[in-house]
């Protein structure tokens, strides 16, 4: 067991070092994010200015802005581009070498990306969070919700990872990576509330979205963080829903991956 | 024979003929991955539908964005989608430039007796851009009809000219970002950034504060991608000097980006392998 943890830790450490060595790209990424946040700020300011009221669907301008800013930060931190990696490995044939490594392929890829997860958390999410909480003068409550939020993020990362593997499994059949991946990205960002808060979705659509796993990725942790998840019972039930999706998505993606990995054909090598 | 002498003999006809031949090869090789082609096209259309849906959700809650109504925003969106087609279809190889440069394969382009930039870009034709084109035209026509804009030959001519303008600006931004890989590692992030900029171009520039209006007009000229050109058609009374000079801005930016790209490419000395 001890050995197990050690080998995963080694992978994580290596990927932290790799991601830190691309300093310029990190800078550009941070700059790009800032720019995006500015656009989001002006856009929603204009939108709220034309609304005539301060609160739309229970969200004030501040609420919406914090929600979207943190959604973006959460997205940069959680999006691991695992499908691209699997896709590249399928096309180059590298996947065969990774599959015969003495550890589970999914574990191997996850832990070698976990380092990036950590650096992104420290360099994108944390600074954004601190700036937002200072700028908005305590619009983010600082109490138990932080603890629930962290738990919720862990569950969200797991759901996201399962979805990635499910999509990676599809890639094994189609050998088309770009199209599948872009579809996944679009579906997840729209239906998880990362582009427009789910509170704004019109009715039948909103109910449908709430029954899908995607809202557990961004909407749930953000509502918990903003203190909009109700009392402890309601928060717990939201986390319960997340836990449900963690299990279901893990089962589905694991089963599907097992099935489709037999499908693999590698040309040359 | 002297290189310059050879170069002089090549006119537009030569390049068109070559382009047709390279294009045919590329399409043939793409068609052997038919599933990939279909899935990519569907993926592209999904992206556009998602953009459409976000507008729809937004305007279910709010009457307008900074004085711009639903159909006007759709017009901007459709306009930018159509204007995006050339950069998507004809200049997609820019995304692979950095890989060619790192692994040294780029050197193969340097040995052909024709324009380096032309040869590099002509090698890939991205068919999935055509799905986006269709969707964009649909959106444009739909919003045109809903806005009750007149359909005159002049209006159509104007639209075409300003669409070309917008395309040139987009191509220029992408060329410049791609060419940065001749100097820096990991130019992917820069390309990704220009792509983000491109997404912002579908919003009216008036929503920004004066500082950013200036930046988006003169520093990173994304306002020329959709806003200034479409003003001429949407709100001719508001269209100012900037709208009317935008075709020249587009052409100038394209020329500059081409020079920048070539400057980097001619400096390239291979990886030594």
Tokens standing for residue B156: 């159509």
Q: Where does the pLDDT of residue B1 fall: very low under 50, low under 70, confident under 90, or very high at 90 and above?
A: very low
Whole-angstrom Cα distance, residue A176 to residue B38?
9
Does the distance separating the beta carbons of A35 and B196 come in below 8 Å? Answer: yes
Residue that wins the pLDDT comparison between B251 and A104: B251
Q: Name the nearest CA neighbour of B82 among B164, B137, B156.
A: B137
Question: Which residue range forms the structural domain that includes residue A102?
Answer: 2-261
Instruction: Specify the pLDDT at position A245.
Output: 92
Mutate to test the interface with A, among B30, B41, B55, B62 (most CBs of A within 10 A): B62
Instruction: Specify the pLDDT at position A82.
Output: 77
Q: Which of A25, A47, A201 sits opposite B65 (nearest CB)?
A: A47
Q: Name the nearest CA neighbour of B27 among B134, B111, B116, B122.
A: B122
Does the distance separating the beta carbons of B190 and A38 come in below 8 Å? Answer: no
* pLDDT tens-digit map of B217-230: 888 888 888 888 88
Chain B residues 56-115 within an 8 A CB cutoff of chain A: 57-58, 60-67
pLDDT averaged over every residue in chain B: 82
Q: Does residue A115 lie within any of the structural domains?
A: yes
What's the whole-number mean pLDDT along residues B169-188? 83
Other CB atoms within 10 Å distance of the CB of residue B27: 12
Per the structure, the count of domains in chain A is: 1
3-state secondary structure of B124: coil
Residue that wins the pLDDT comparison between B184 and A46: A46
Q: Does residue A268 lie within any of the structural domains?
A: no
Does the distance separating the beta carbons of B43 and A182 come in below 8 Å? Answer: yes
What's the whole-number mean pLDDT along residues B55-79? 85
Give the gap in angstroms from C-alpha A205 to the nearest C-alpha of chain B. Answer: 10
Q: Which residue of B has its CA nearest to A201?
A: B57
Other CB atoms within 10 Å distance of the CB of residue A135: 12
Give the gap in angstroms from C-alpha A47 to the nearest C-alpha of chain B. Answer: 5
Chain A residues with CB under 8 Å of a chain B CB are: 22, 24-25, 28-29, 31-32, 35-36, 38-39, 42-43, 45-51, 56-57, 174-176, 178-183, 186-187, 189-190, 195-196, 200-202, 205
Whole-angstrom Cα distance, residue B227 to residue B250?
13
Whole-angstrom Cα distance, residue A236 to residue B16?
65
Q: Which three-class secondary structure string do you get for chain A?
A: CHHHHHHHHHHHHHHHHHHHHCHHHHHHHHHHHHHHHHHHHHHHHHHHHHHCCCEECCEEHHHHHHHHHHHHHHHHHHCCCHHHHHHHHHHHCHHHHHHCCCCCHHHHHHHHHHHHHHHHHHHHHHHHHHHHHHHCCCCCCCCHHHHHHHHHHHHHHHHHHHHHHHHHHHHHHHCCCHHHHHHHHHHHHHHCCCCCCHHHCCHHHHHHHHCCHHHHCCHHHHHHHCCCCCCHHHHHHHHHHHHHHHHHHHHHHHHHHHHHHCCCCCCCC
* pLDDT tens-digit map of A99-109: 777 777 777 87
Instruction: Specify the pLDDT at position B244.
Output: 81
Chain B residues within 8 A of A47 when measuring between CB atoms = 58, 62, 65-66
Question: In residues, how long is chain A?
Answer: 269
What's the whole-number mean pLDDT along residues B184-201? 77
Residue B48 Cα distances to A187, A195, A242, B53, B174, angstroms? 11, 14, 29, 9, 20
* pLDDT tens-digit map of B127-147: 778 888 888 999 999 998 988
Does the distance separating the beta carbons of B61 and A179 come in below 8 Å? Answer: no
* pLDDT tens-digit map of A51-69: 777 787 778 888 888 888 8
Q: Does residue A49 lie within any of the structural domains?
A: yes
Q: Does residue A266 lie within any of the structural domains?
A: no
Mutate to test the interface with B, among A55, A174, A176 (most CBs of B within 10 A): A176
Tokens standing for residue A19: 């991601």
Chain A residues within 8 A of B41 when measuring between CB atoms = 179
* pLDDT tens-digit map of B13-50: 888 888 888 888 888 877 777 777 788 888 888 888 88
Which residues, at least 6 apart from A125, have a Cβ–Cβ distance to it below 8 Å?
A73, A74, A76, A77
Q: Does residue A57 lie within any of the structural domains?
A: yes
Whole-angstrom Cα distance, residue A189 to residue A183?
10
Q: For the ranges B7-16, B146-155, B248-257, which has the lowest average pLDDT?
A: B7-16
How far from each other are the two terminal CA atoms of chain A, in whole angstroms? 34
Instruction: Specify the pLDDT at position A265.
Output: 66
CB A257 within 8 A of CB A106: yes
Q: Would you give per-residue pLDDT tens digits along chain A (269 residues)? A: 455 667 777 777 777 777 666 667 677 777 777 777 788 888 888 888 877 777 877 788 888 888 888 888 888 777 767 777 777 777 777 777 777 777 777 778 778 777 778 877 887 788 888 888 887 777 777 777 788 888 898 899 889 888 888 888 888 787 777 788 888 888 888 888 888 888 888 888 888 888 888 888 888 888 888 877 677 788 888 889 999 999 999 999 888 888 887 777 665 54
Q: Which of B67, B184, B185 sits opposite A50 (nearest CB)?
A: B67
What is the residue extent of each domain of chain B?
Answer: 3-267
Instruction: Specify the pLDDT at position A1.
Output: 46
CA B228 to chain centre: 16
Mutate to test the interface with A, among B34, B36, B37, B39 (most CBs of A within 10 A): B39
Whole-angstrom Cα distance, residue A210 to residue B217?
41
Tokens standing for residue B107: 């050197």
Instruction: Specify the pLDDT at position B102.
Output: 78
Ramachandran bin of B141, using left for φ above 0, alpha for ψ from -120 to 50, beta for the remaining angles: alpha
Whole-angstrom Cα distance, residue B108 to residue B270?
10
Instruction: Specify the pLDDT at position A244.
Output: 93
């Amino acid at each position: 067991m001890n050995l197990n943890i050690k080998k995963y830790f080694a992978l994580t450490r290596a990927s932290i070092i790799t991601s830190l060595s691309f300093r310029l790209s990190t800078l550009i990424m941070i700059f790009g994010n800032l720019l995006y946040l500015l656009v989001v700020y002006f856009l929603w300011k204009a939108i709220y200015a034309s609304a005539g009221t301060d609160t739309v669907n229970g969200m004030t301008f501040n609420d919406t802005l914090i929600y979207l800013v943190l959604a973006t930060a959460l997205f940069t931190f959680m999006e691991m581009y695992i499908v691209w990696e699997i896709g590249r490995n399928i096309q180059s044939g590298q996947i065969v070498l990774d599959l015969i490594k003495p550890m589970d392929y999914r574990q191997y890829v996850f832990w070698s990306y976990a380092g990036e997860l950590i650096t992104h958390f420290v360099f994108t999410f944390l600074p954004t969070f601190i700036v937002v909480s200072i700028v908005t003068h305590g619009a983010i409550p600082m109490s138990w919700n932080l603890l629930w939020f962290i738990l919720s993020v862990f569950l969200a990362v797991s759901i996201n990872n399962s979805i990635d593997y499910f999509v990676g499994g599809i890639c094994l059949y189609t050998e088309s990576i770009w199209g599948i991946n872009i579809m996944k990205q679009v579906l997840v960002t729209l239906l998880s509330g990362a582009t427009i808060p789910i509170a704004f979705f019109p009715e039948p659509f909103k109910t449908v979205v709430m029954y899908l796993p995607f809202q557990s990725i961004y909407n749930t942790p953000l509502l918990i963080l903003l203190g909009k998840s109700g009392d402890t019972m309601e928060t717990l039930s939201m986390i319960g829903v997340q836990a449900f999706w963690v299990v279901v998505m893990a089962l589905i993606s694991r089963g599907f991956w097992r099935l489709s990995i037999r499908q693999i054909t590698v040309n040359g090598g | 024979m002297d290189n310059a002498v050879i170069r002089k003999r090549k006119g537009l006809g030569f390049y068109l003929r070559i382009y047709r031949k390279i294009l045919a090869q590329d399409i043939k090789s793409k068609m052997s991955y038919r599933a990939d082609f279909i899935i990519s096209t569907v993926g592209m259309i999904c992206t556009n539908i998602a953009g459409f849906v976000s507008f729809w959700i937004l305007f279910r809650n709010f009457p307008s964005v900074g004085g711009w109504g639903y159909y006007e925003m759709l017009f901007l969106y459709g306009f930018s989608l159509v204007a995006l087609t050339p950069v998507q279809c004809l200049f997609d190889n820019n995304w692979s430039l950095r890989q060619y440069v790192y692994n040294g394969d780029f050197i193969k382009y340097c040995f052909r007796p024709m324009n380096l930039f032309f040869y590099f870009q002509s090698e890939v034709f991205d068919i999935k851009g055509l799905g986006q084109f269709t969707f964009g035209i649909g959106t444009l026509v739909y919003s045109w009809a809903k806005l009750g804009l007149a359909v005159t030959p002049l209006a159509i001519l104007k639209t075409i000219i300003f669409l070309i303008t917008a395309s040139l600006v987009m191509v220029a931004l992408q060329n410049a970002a791609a060419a940065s890989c001749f100097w820096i590692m990991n130019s992917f992030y820069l390309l990704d950034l220009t792509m983000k900029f491109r997404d912002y171009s579908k919003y009216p520039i008036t929503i920004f504060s004066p500082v950013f209006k200036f930046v988006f007009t003169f520093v990173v000229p994304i306002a020329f991608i959709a806003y200034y050109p479409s003003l001429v058609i949407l709100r001719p009374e508001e269209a100012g000097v900037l709208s009317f000079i935008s075709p020249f801005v587009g052409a100038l930016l394209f020329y500059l980006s081409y020079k920048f790209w070539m400057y980097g490419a001619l400096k390239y000395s291979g990886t030594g392998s």
